Amino acid sequence: MYLDSSKYTENFQDKSLQINIKQGQEKGIVKKDEALTVQQNDKDVVAIEATTSDMCHTDYLNKDDFKDLAIAKIKLAPKDKDKLKLWNDSLKDLTDKKTSLFLLISVTCQDGTPVVYNGENPAINGELDKRSTPNYWLDVDGKWFEVKKNQRAPWMEIAKKEIGEEEIYGITENNPRVLEYHKTAGYNKSLMGREITDDWIGNIKDAWCGSFIYWCFYKSGIKKSNLNKTGYNAFSWKKWGKTISKPAYGALAILSYSHVAFVVGKKGDDLVLLEGNQTGGDKDTYGKVCYNITKKSKIIGYRFPKNYEIITKDYELKEINTDAETDSSSTTR
């Protein structure tokens, strides 16, 4: 996280800050106004340490941009497993599985004496509180932030929302969503004598399963620098990320016939995949986003994003009911 000190810590260069993340509005993970335990430097802490302009003492070319910023890197979860279980159990009981939190910022000099903040504090009874105070409560409407229960393979929820998106084949216009998959993945091959541009519409005959995978990963928050640079090419995913030896929920499956898809679940001894540029056994359609049932023997590898933490539960695939026909693999490449 970073605190924009242009308003709150301007002229506080080289002064240390202590930051508490506190429970807001109502009981959530902990009691109202109670500070949460988080991880900093691989240790459980309640008070997060940061120093304004600390980033200026680096070799970064833009280091002067940080002169009014206090930057603290933390993990928003306790390291202690029992405390983490309490977090997760509490979130399960909350509306929408989420809760609001706020920050309490305390600024001190190097010798430990408090720095008095003379700016405008949050409104009290509709009036600005202009008292001098060593603390700043970032506890105002519009400045709350939320924490949600950890979502497994977040790209899967994005992929599921795309089910039914279909290639329009053989006419002058195409589904703009399919074009978006390609554009996001950086596909710039000349199609029908023209490049894909923002104002281009046309018939796509080339495979877009890889572009769909790329788009889902990107929309889930994975930076392009951590994605496959040629992700529009199905087999180029073979060396991306990290490999696993068996199927898991959300894993990228690479199929022997130059195709890629996401693992959703199982049906008997076969796997249920969610994929783009696939018919799902429906011969009356062209490539679309749909479920498909595939034999494990057709899959030559499984991959996950490099920094994704795989847990035992990911390997516990659920039995999925789908209208797709077994072994109905049929792409439109």
Query: For the segment 265-300, what is each residue's pLDDT rounded down to a tens digit?
Result: 999 999 999 999 987 555 566 789 999 999 999 999
pLDDT in tens, 16-60: 777 788 887 677 888 887 888 989 998 999 888 888 788 777 776
- Residue 193 is predicted with a pLDDT of 46
Ordered DSSP codes for 9-78: TTT-TT-EEEEEEEE-SS-SSSSTTPBPPEEETTEEESSEEEEBTGGGGS--TTGGGGTTEEE---BSS-
Q: Tokens in use for 25?
A: 């509005």
Residues 9-15 have a mean pLDDT of: 63
**DSSP H stretches of helix in 207-249:** 209-219
Q: Does the pLDDT at position 241 exceed 90?
A: yes
Q: What is the DSSP string of 138-171?
A: E-STT--EEEEPPPSSTHHHHHHHTTT-B---SS
The model scores a pTM over 0.75: no
Residue type present at position 190:
S
Positive/negative CA dihedral, 93, 321, 235, 168: negative
Per the structure block, which two tokens stand in for 182? Answer: 């390609």
